């Protein structure tokens, strides 16, 4: 009987151990489920972060491209501004020369008008003198003719 008792004690002990092992197994399965869920969440998070990283890389590349374009446009803008300043300077010089030329043309126009008036005056005087000369010559020819007839 004692053997039976021993076996029963042993049985109870093993039964208790079995229960503990089942409990431990259940806890471990729950932990595995929990860790699996966490792992899936982390994998989703990794995918999300990788996607964001790819997007940021693309944005960075776009930004680099835009920066290069900006620098190119800035240089072109500087060149155009320089050309504009040079053109503006040439335009001012040309405008000044045009004003001087207009002033000179105006002065020359007045001088031409003055000289034309003077020429007309001289032509008038020349006509008057030619008439006087012809009239005086005719008188003189008449006097010479009357003196020859004498």
Tokens linked to 64: 């680099």
Residue 22 is predicted with a pLDDT of: 94
Q: What is the pLDDT of residues 41-70, one digit of tens each?
A: 999 999 999 999 999 999 999 899 999 999
* Residue 4 pLDDT exceeds 90: no
Residue 3 is predicted with a pLDDT of: 84
* Residue 150 pLDDT exceeds 80: no
* Residue 149 pLDDT exceeds 90: no
> CA 150 to CA 148: how far, in whole Å?
5
Residue 113 is predicted with a pLDDT of: 96
What are the domain boundaries of the chain?
Answer: 1-109
End-to-end CA separation in angstroms for the chain: 213
Query: How large is the greatest C-alpha to C-alpha distance in the chain, in angstroms?
Result: 213
* Angle (nearest 5°) at CA 138 between 136 and 144: 100
Residue 17 is predicted with a pLDDT of: 93
Residue 92 is predicted with a pLDDT of: 97
> CA 61 to CA 67: how far, in whole Å?
10
């Amino acid at each position: 009987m004692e053997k039976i008792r021993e076996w029963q004690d042993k049985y109870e002990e093993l039964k208790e151990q079995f229960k503990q092992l089942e409990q431990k197994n259940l806890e471990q399965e729950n932990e595995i489920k929990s860790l699996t869920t966490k792992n899936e969440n982390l994998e989703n998070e990794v995918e999300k972060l990788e996607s964001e990283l790819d997007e940021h890389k693309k944005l960075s590349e776009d930004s680099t491209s835009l920066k290069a374009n900006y620098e190119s446009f800035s240089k072109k803008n500087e060149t155009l501004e320089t050309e504009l300043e040079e053109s503006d300077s040439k335009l001012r010089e040309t405008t000044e020369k045009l004003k001087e030329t207009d002033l000179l043309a105006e002065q020359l126009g007045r001088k031409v008008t003055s000289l034309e008036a003077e020429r007309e005056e001289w032509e008038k005087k020349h006509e008057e003198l030619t008439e006087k000369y012809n009239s005086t010559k005719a008188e003189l020819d008449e006097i010479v003719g009357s003196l020859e007839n004498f």
